[in-house]
Amino acid sequence: MLFFLVGEALRDLRRGGRVAVSAVLLITLSLTALGAFWVLSLNLGRALVQWRDRFRVVVYLREEPPAGQVEGLLKKIEGVGGIQRLRYVSKGQALQALRRQIGGQASVVAELPANPLPASVEVTPAGEAMTPEGTRALIQRLSALAEVEEVQGGTAWVEWLAQLQGLLQAIGLSLGAVLALAAILTATTATTLVLHARREEMEIMRLVGASEMVIRLPLLLQGLIQGFVGAAMAVGGLYGAYRLALPTLEPLLSFTLGLPRAAFFAPAEIAVLVGGGGLLGALGGLMAKGERPA
Amino acid sequence: MIQLKSVSKVYRVGPVKVTALDGVSLEIEKGEFTVLAGPSGSGKTTLLRLLYRDEVPTEGEIRVAGFDVTGMRRSRIPHLRRAVGVVFQDAKLLPARNVYDNVAFVLRVLGTPRREITPRVMQTLKAVGISARAQALPAQLSQGEQQRAALARALIKEPALLLADEPTGNLDEAMAEEILYLLSDIWNRGTTILLATHRATLANQLKRRTLVLDGGRLLKDEA
Ligand SMILES: Nc1ncnc2c1ncn2[C@@H]1O[C@H](COP(=O)(O)OP(=O)(O)OP(=O)(O)O)[C@@H](O)[C@H]1O
Ligand SMILES: [Mg+2]
């Protein structure tokens, strides 16, 4: 029975001919567009997570507190709320860090008459305060403290990334949706052609008492096959493009976004794409108008 | 096997109503060979189509092979169709498949186990005398051979009832006689048969119970 149903589905695909091929290509196209934007937004998302993780608000203090009061000051700062972690950096530590950073020119630092660097507290906002508004509010609360000279911590860059990701997702989704619609319609046309070619057969099937399931299932299957083939081609094409672009893309990514590696889809995400393809094809198969049984 | 109670069928073609059957009641027992006669347009085909629920009556009740045809749910229709074999004036064979595949097609769509298919098809083809042309395409067969293949297709699922609508309509007399002989043979093996024909001579010559329709009414019912 299974052999028969799959055999009929393959026969149907052949009967769908050029339209079936167009349906497959359109499914490929729509999933490629969707997938391309998805993979971009995926990598941006990873960059975002990394950036958010590294993100600090730096609170510069008016004066270096005496050693015994550091603890109390940190408590006070933490008291403003929305803070995950904080770390005190004394004037001395700041200078050491500067020395390490400039390395070879360390002698320049040695020649300074006095340590010009202020003491500071590095604040990592809590997850819920990580939004642009949350960060802005946090910065305001910190600035209001008497001990605080200045607060630094621009969220502009992270915000911009988040917006870019949103934009990519929107473009990808709308382009993918338009193409998916075209793909479904083409799959429907292909199936309708098959229905016409099969009219006699379906008539005989109904006459001899085949169940509707047996009559309709090959149609659904040929739609599914169209979808799977299209999806497989899309994933293959995207992977090929990814491998080709990798040598040029990776240095660029690590330079601009600080991402060491450009990621491709995980197996689960590939499964989603292939499943989506199957769904597109199957919908086409289901939506085809055949003459209904009497 | 077949019961009709006051069955009427009115076709609507736009604003026009065509009464194809008008208050027909009849009963046919299991194992009978009945002829349905009457002039062209008298409602024979309509009556047969009601029996395998290709159409639904406008009024009345129909029972066929234990099925309540008028009241049955759509999902039950395939079960009725499996119990009823149908052949038409034109054989309605699938042109792209050979005789063997046309007949095997039925068993395949009904989910018969694969190893049972070949022996059953060959046996049925033999029974209707066309096993030698199993590999031929319908277009390569004579009308009589096509009708035999169509009979094989109707009989392969071993229906309790065989409906034959003008099965000799396209055949010359000698071939028509062969098909009628074949039908008697099938009947002798226990299948109930209802044969529709507008040829009065044919109906008389068979010497079977004959139901005569005229203008959608049952005129005569004679043995
Ligand atoms: N689908 C239909 N729509 C409208 N009218 C129909 C339809 N089928 C049959 N009729 C009409 O119903 C009447 C009976 O037709 P039917 O085909 O049952 O006659 P018949 O006895 O089989 O004729 P024949 O011997 O020519 O095959 C005719 O007047 C016909 O025009
Ligand atoms: Mg007729």
ipTM: 0.90
Q: How far is CA B131 from CA A119, B86, B123, B156, in A?
A: 102, 20, 8, 13
Does the pLDDT of residue A61 top 50, yes or no? yes
Spatial distance between the Cα atoms of A205 and A291, rounded to a whole number of angstroms: 13
Which has the minimum average pLDDT: A5-14, A105-114, B139-148, B168-177? Answer: A105-114
Tell me what pLDDT residue A29 has. 82
The mean pLDDT of A170-185, rounded to a whole number, is 80
Token pair belonging to A23: 């349906």
Spatial distance between the Cα atoms of A110 and A96, rounded to a whole number of angstroms: 11
Does the pLDDT of residue B181 top 80, yes or no? yes
Please report which confidence band the pLDDT of residue A207 belongs to, taking 50, 70 and 90 as the band edges.
Answer: very high
Q: How far is CA A68 from CA A8, A31, A60, in A?
A: 84, 62, 19
Does the pLDDT of residue B106 top 90, yes or no? yes
Q: Which domain holds residue B9?
A: 2-92+159-222
Please report which confidence band the pLDDT of residue A158 belongs to, taking 50, 70 and 90 as the band edges.
Answer: low
Which residue among B7, B9, B10, B11 has the greatest number of ligand 1 atoms within 8 angstroms of its CB, and so is best to mutate? B11
Residue A62, CA atoms < 13 Å, CB-side half-sphere: 9
Q: What is the pTM of this model?
A: 0.70
Q: Are A224 and A285 in contact (CB under 8 A)?
A: yes
SS3 state of residue B169? coil
Q: Is residue B204 part of a domain?
A: yes
**Residue A225 CB: number of other CB atoms within 10 A?**
21
Tell me what pLDDT residue A12 has. 74
Tell me what pLDDT residue A4 has. 80
Does the pLDDT of residue A292 top 50, yes or no? no
Q: How far is CA B29 from CA A107, B161, B193, in A?
A: 118, 10, 10
Q: Is residue B116 part of a domain?
A: no
Tell me what pLDDT residue A157 has. 65
Q: What is the mean pLDDT of chain A?
A: 80
Spatial distance between the Cα atoms of B218 and B37, rounded to a whole number of angstroms: 10
Does the pLDDT of residue A156 top 70, yes or no? no
Nearest ligand to the CA atom of B199: 1
Does the pLDDT of residue B196 top 90, yes or no? yes
For chains A and B, CB pairs below 8 A equal: 53
Cα dihedral B136/B140/B143/B149 (nearest 10):
10
Which has the minimum average pLDDT: A49-58, B79-88, B171-180? Answer: A49-58
The mean pLDDT of A160-174, rounded to a whole number, is 78
Q: For residue A66, what is the DSSP state?
A: P
Please report which confidence band the pLDDT of residue A134 belongs to, taking 50, 70 and 90 as the band edges.
Answer: confident
Q: Find the B54 Cα to ligand 2 centroid distance in Å.
A: 14
Q: Are B93 and B102 in contact (CB under 8 A)?
A: yes
Q: Is residue B182 part of a domain?
A: yes
Please report which confidence band the pLDDT of residue A49 belongs to, taking 50, 70 and 90 as the band edges.
Answer: confident
CB-based contact A209 B78, cutoff 8 Å:
yes
Tell me what pLDDT residue B125 has. 95
Q: What is the mean pLDDT of chain B?
A: 91
> Higher model confidence: residue B161 or residue A67?
B161
CATH number at residue B86: 3.40.50.300
Does the pLDDT of residue B132 top 60, yes or no? yes
Tell me what pLDDT residue B135 has. 95
The mean pLDDT of A265-285, rounded to a whole number, is 84
Tell me what pLDDT residue B63 has. 95
Please report which confidence band the pLDDT of residue B152 belongs to, taking 50, 70 and 90 as the band edges.
Answer: very high
Q: Find the B45 Cα to ligand 2 centroid distance in Å.
A: 4
- Please report, rounded to a whole number, the percentage of residues in chain A having pLDDT higher than 90: 3
Tell me what pLDDT residue B151 has. 94
Structurally, chain B folds into a number of domains equal to 1
Q: Find the B60 Cα to ligand 2 centroid distance in Å.
A: 21
Tell me what pLDDT residue A289 has. 67
Does the pLDDT of residue B86 top 90, yes or no? yes
Rounded to a whole number, what is the distance in Å from the CA of B205 to chain A's nearest CA?
Answer: 30
Q: Is B216 left (phi over 0), alpha (psi -120 to 50) or beta?
A: left
Q: Find the B42 Cα to ligand 1 centroid distance in Å.
A: 7
Q: Alpha-carbon Rg of chain B, whole angstroms?
A: 17
Question: How distant is the alpha carbon of residue A223 from its chain centre?
Answer: 28
CB-based contact B82 A209, cutoff 8 Å:
yes
> Higher model confidence: residue A91 or residue A250?
A91
Tell me what pLDDT residue B161 has. 96
Which of B57, B65, B64 has its CA nearest to residue B23?
B57
Which has the minimum average pLDDT: A144-148, B197-201, B219-223? Answer: B219-223
Does the pLDDT of residue B206 top 80, yes or no? no
> Higher model confidence: residue A220 or residue B3?
B3
* CB-closest option in B79, B92, B157 to A204: B92
The residue whose CA has the least distance to atom 17 of ligand 1 is B45
Q: Find the A70 Cα to ligand 1 centroid distance in Å.
A: 103
Tell me what pLDDT residue B43 has. 93
The residue whose CA has the least distance to atom 22 of ligand 1 is B45
Q: Is residue B44 part of a domain?
A: yes
- For the structural domain made of A56-154, what CATH number should be given? 3.30.70.3040
Residue that is written with structure tokens 């080709």 in the block:
A244
Q: Are A206 and A293 in contact (CB under 8 A)?
A: yes
Please report which confidence band the pLDDT of residue B102 belongs to, taking 50, 70 and 90 as the band edges.
Answer: very high
> Higher model confidence: residue B76 or residue A124?
B76
Spatial distance between the Cα atoms of B87 and A16, rounded to a whole number of angstroms: 30
Rounded to a whole number, what is the distance in Å from the CA of A235 to chain B's nearest CA?
Answer: 36
Residue that is written with structure tokens 């509010």 in the block:
A137
Nearest ligand to the CA atom of B213: 1
Domain boundaries, chain A: 2-51+158-287, 56-154
The mean pLDDT of A77-82, rounded to a whole number, is 84
Ordered strands of the B16-28 beta sheet? B16-28, B2-13, B59-64, B67-68
Spatial distance between the Cα atoms of B106 and A283, rounded to a whole number of angstroms: 28
What is the bridge-based pairing of β-strands B161-165 and B84-87? parallel
> Higher model confidence: residue A291 or residue A274?
A274
Highest mean pLDDT among A144-148, A272-276, A290-294, B112-116: B112-116
* CB-closest option in A3, A203, A209 to B110: A209
Per CB-CB distance under 8 Å, the chain A contacts of B51 are none
**CA B8, B14, B20: angle at the middle one, nearest 5?**
25
Could you list the beta-strand ranges (E) of chain A: 57-61, 83-89, 120-125, 148-152
The residue whose CA has the least distance to atom 29 of ligand 1 is B41
Please report which confidence band the pLDDT of residue A105 belongs to, taking 50, 70 and 90 as the band edges.
Answer: low
Does the pLDDT of residue B117 top 90, yes or no? yes
Q: Are A20 and A222 in contact (CB under 8 A)?
A: yes
- Chain A's closest residue to B91, CA to CA, is A204
Tell me what pLDDT residue A293 has. 41
Tell me what pLDDT residue A294 has. 35
Contacts of A93 (CB under 8 A, 6+ apart): none
The residue whose CA has the least distance to atom 4 of ligand 1 is B11
> Which of B69, B97, B108, B116 is the best substitution to test chain A (most A C-beta atoms within 10 A)?
B108
CB-based contact A293 B111, cutoff 8 Å:
no
The residue whose CA has the least distance to atom 30 of ligand 1 is B41
Token pair belonging to A193: 């052609």
Q: Are B209 and B221 in contact (CB under 8 A)?
A: yes
CB-based contact A214 B157, cutoff 8 Å:
no
